[in-house]
Amino acid sequence: MIAKISRFTQNDEEDIQNIIKVDKKKVYERANDAINVGVRFREEWVRMNLDEVMEMFDG
């Protein structure tokens, strides 16, 4: 999931939307956990895309 947020390609959008519908809070927590432990993702991309994803799929 975090890889999808990090990449945030058009192909990932539908998957992300479906996952967020299930548990938006969990997605946010896992993204922050991945950032905090430095798991192979560029922090600035994940944070930027995470904010955009949360806005896009809010509600």
Distance of alpha carbon 59 from alpha carbon 46, whole angstroms:
21
Distance of alpha carbon 45 from alpha carbon 51, whole angstroms:
10
Report the predicted TM-score, pTM, of the whole model to 2 decimal places.
Answer: 0.56
Residue at 20: amino acid letter: I
Distance of alpha carbon 45 from alpha carbon 4, whole angstroms:
11
Give percent of the chain above pLDDT 90. Answer: 0
Q: What is the phi/psi pair of residue 3, to 5°? A: -60, -40
Q: pLDDT at position 28, please?
A: 81
Residue at 52: amino acid letter: E
Q: pLDDT at position 34, please?
A: 81
The whole-angstrom distance between residue 20's C-alpha and the CA centroid of its chain comes to: 9
